[in-house]
Structure formats: C-alpha cells, structure tokens
Structure 1
Amino acid sequence: MANNTGDNSINQILDLDALPMILQQIHQEVINEYGQGNVADYIPGLAQVDPQQFGMALRTVDEQEFTVGAADTAFSIQSISKLFTLMLALDIVGEELWQRVGREPSGMRFNSLVLLDSEGGIPRNPFINDGAIVVTDVIAARSAAPARRIEEFIASLSGNDSNRIDQQIAAGEQATGFRNVAIANLLKGMGNLEAEVEQTLDCYFKQCAITMSCRDLARAIECLANRGKSHFKSSFHAEKMDKRINSLMLTCGLYDAVGNFAYNVGLPAKSGVGGGIVAVCPGQYTVAVWAPELDRYGNSVLGQLALEKLTSYTHTSIF
C-alpha cells in the first residue's frame, strides 16, 4: 500500500489492524479537552453549531476507510473549499495562475489587507482570503455558473452529490463579509480581478458554505495522497498537483499557525473555521477531522490535537 519500506523510510507504513483501536483511543482522549475554544460566532449559522462534537475519517490509498465519532455529520467546510477551488483553477489555467498569486506564507491574519496593498495587489498565497478570492475569480470569469461548477467539482471528487451549498450560511456570509468586500474591491482596483466584484464574491461566499462530512473530505482529497489518482473522478488533470498543493498546505494551510502545526503534526493540511481540518500523508492516506471549537488562529482545537496524536501513535509524520 505505501511507497516507503525499510528502516530508512521517511514514514512508517500504516498498521491497518491497529488503526480502529488507535482512532478510538484518540476519540476518547480528545473529547476530554472540550471547552478550550469557541465556535466561529462571527458567521451567522456557525454560531448555532453545538461546539462539543468530534468526527474523524481516514482513507488509505487502497480505498480502505476508518472512522470514529461524527464522521458522517455534514458541516460547513469554509476555507477548506479554498483547496478545491485551487485544484479547479489550476485545472483551468495551469501555471498561469501564479502570475496573479504567490506561493509564500503570509505571517499575517487570513483576512489582512496590509500585505495586499503593500505588494501591488498580488496575494502572498492562495489560502489567505485575498489569494483565495483571486483563485475564485479565475473560475468566476470563465464559467456561466461558477458556484454550481465548484459544487459539482467537489461532489465529483467526494462521490457524494449532496455536497452542496448551504444557502442560509452563504447568505449570512454575504451579509457580514465586509472585510472580504474590501479585499475584493482592493484587488479590482489594483487590476487583479477579472470578473465583476459582486460576481466573484457571490461565488466565494457560496463555496465557503458548502457542506461535507469527514468521510466526504477524506475521499475528496484522495488524489493528493495517491499521485493524482482519484477513485471517484477520472477526468481531473491532477498530474503533479499533489506535489504543488501539498507543499502549499504544508507552508500555508493553517495561516499564521502553520509552523506549530508542522512541528506538532507533520502533515500537509488545510483548515476551515467550520472546525474541519484535512491532512495528507503522501503515499499512505488522507484524513479529515471535525470539531467546531476554534483557537485564536481560527483552527480546530481538538482537530489539531487529534492529528498530532494520529501521527505520533502511527509514526506517519512526513518528517
């Protein structure tokens, strides 16, 4: 199943027989840590989510799945959607994308305008909000129904056609997303937005409101662990995309907390303020975890802890 063998391998081959017990142990350990964070109450809809929930799903590259807790409960993926729109935008325009967005960590809040203004309208990376809005703009400028295109792309990766936009959450995002409106207008004013501001933002708010479960997410990112191969979608041009996107997740996927996450967990990952985190162990597995309580950086408290325990107990950090 795994590419690495022998004592000198980068990471240990996953012991599938032990995995169910390991996931149960992680579940029991992390739920004792409830109460250390808060839900994203600045987004209507997310503020009403029961904070004391936990789910986890792991999928191996040979299509075996292991779950624990609320792994099949759908939740708002929020910024995890930026991972899928990046895949789609690269599928549409390829390397041309990097003329409009960088590939470096920002060291700033995910919704900061400071760097964008000082660096000529080129966002530092595609996972902070300004970079993600540029990525969405690539899709919006080239699609008759961009939000629907993103929905269908994600559903094709997960194999679950019910992975769709929660219109109530999308409306709440639109009503309160003042900083994103400012970012989009600044991008437009600096010549880095092709579609109309309203069109791009409408698509951006809707993509963040797509709902998925941990199982859906682990399936949807399969191509990033399996050299571009996906069990559910065969027409996706994913060659070399695993290398490119995994590198960006490792350096930019958890915003200005990415260094601590790499230190503690050691996997490429992407988080969202809905409480989800997806991570990739190249050549071995994908994993998704969900727990709505967030730390001050906007990342799931229990999600990070669960992934740290997973790589510690299985010795599958990439380092």
Structure 2
Amino acid sequence: MAKTKMAEHMTKGAGFIAALDQSGGSTPKALRLYGVEESAYSTDAEMFDMVHAMRARIMKSPAFNGEKVVGAILFEATMDRDVDGIPTAQYLWEKRGVVPFLKIDKGLEDEANGVQLLKPIPGLTELLARAAKAGIFGTKERSVINAANPKGIEAIVAQQFALGAEVTAAGLMPILEPEVTITIADKAEAEELLRDAILRHLDALPAGQKVMLKLSLPTKANHYKALVDHPAVMKVVALSGGYSRDEANRMLSQNAGMIASFSRALSEGLNAGQTDAEFDATLAKAIDAIHAASVAG
C-alpha cells in the first residue's frame, strides 16, 4: 500500500520536508519575495494561480525529489490543483517520490495566557476524508506560543493532541505544530515547558499510535532529543521561524535527529524572472544545504 511505503519513507528517508503551504495571509509576501508584486494580480483567484505556478515550478525542478526532500506540506488549494495534469499529491508521490501532507489549520485565536490556540476548523471531517482520498499522507496544524506561560502551553499542547487524535482516526498522520515565537525573551523557558507537556501527552497515547512534531529550532541544542527518541514520534521536524536559511541550517545541524521543514528558507533566492537553469541551480543549492543540515546530526 502507498500509505505503508510513505510511512517507511518518512521514517527512514534521509531528507527534509518542504513547506509549500503559504495561505491567504502569507501568500502576498511569498509572491513578493519571488519577485511578483501585488500589482501583478487583482483577485484572490489570480493570486493563488500565481503562487500555484511558483509551487509547481519548485515541484518540477530536478533537485526536488525524494532523495533529499522526503515530504512536502501543501495548502488546501494546492491539493485541489494539478501539476502537469496530475493531481498534486499524486504527482508528488508518484513522480517525485515525495510524501504529501496537508495544512489544515484555519488561523489563530486571539492571544490568551501567552498563546494563540487554533481556531475551529469548519468541515474538518469532510476535509480529512477528501485529503485521504487525494492520497495525502498526513496533516499539519500550527498554533503559536508567545510566552512561557504554563497554563497556556498546556492548553496549546492539549488542543494539538486532541486534533491529532481526529486526524489519526481519519487514517492520516498528524504533524503537531505548537510554534514558539523565536523573538520572545523567555523562549528557552517556553521550550522547557513545551517539551515537558508534549512528553506527558506522548506517554498517554494509545499503544502503537504515532504523531509527528514540528517545532521551532530550540535555543539549547538537542533540547528536544527526548521527543526525537520517543517511540510514539515518527519524526521531529524544525521550522525556520524567521531565521535566515544559513542560521536555521547552522542551528538545525546541532540537533541530532531533527530534520528541516522550511518554507521561506527553502524558497530564499528564487525569482519569477529567473531562467529555468537559474531557478533550478538556486533551488538545488538550497536543497543541498538544508538536506546537509537535516542529516548532520
């Protein structure tokens, strides 16, 4: 079965996960960094056409394959579109050897107790069923920690694991993403609380059930090693969170067992005006560097 092969590839593959899941709020910035100004489109439909073209160009590049890119996280509209006439998730797995994931979160609640919980996800059951039918392996759901507040961090971890249980019940692998904002003064303290809360919830999972974790690069190297080694964790992936690619790669290389799941850091330097040769060379350089940092530990 494809799902079994995908699970094996995620577990054993020596590579990283590409985050190609910019949504409505972050899409204009992603396009601007790609050299496409807001004056180039006048509707959301045109904007998403352009960002899909950018993502498809990345996916079709020779360097973007399962040897170094083991997975890719997609925005819902990307899952619903095609690449070269093939549904995106199917294209990724069958043509590139890359395991497809789907971003399912729909934004954040206002901050309370130093965290921003996930907003409710309307139509979640239908979305998960659609994702499974499309060949998606797993999901990603992001919430945010802005302070080392024990009550808030416990709430955010509990919500992530509750949603993860729904995803698991739908036959998909959840990537739980309680992101710690990298600029907060008490980041290290928040990471202590977060690690301990995650460990408590991992220990309470039913036997045989697994999750993946997507976490901000920690202040202290190997801070999340206990999570990497936990039997209920398929993989721990790191988000770049605003660090430059070089800084993110440097930090990642110091964390044994963690792999990258970078978005902006992956597409850094890519431009709509580049020739295919220039684009492919720039992307290959980024993939090589992120891959090297992911396997360094």
Question: TM-score per shorter chain, which class?
Answer: under 0.3
Whose strand proportion is higher, 1 or 2? 2
TM (normalized to structure 1)? 0.23
TM (normalized to structure 2)? 0.25
Structure with larger RCO (C-alpha < 8 A, sep 6+):
1
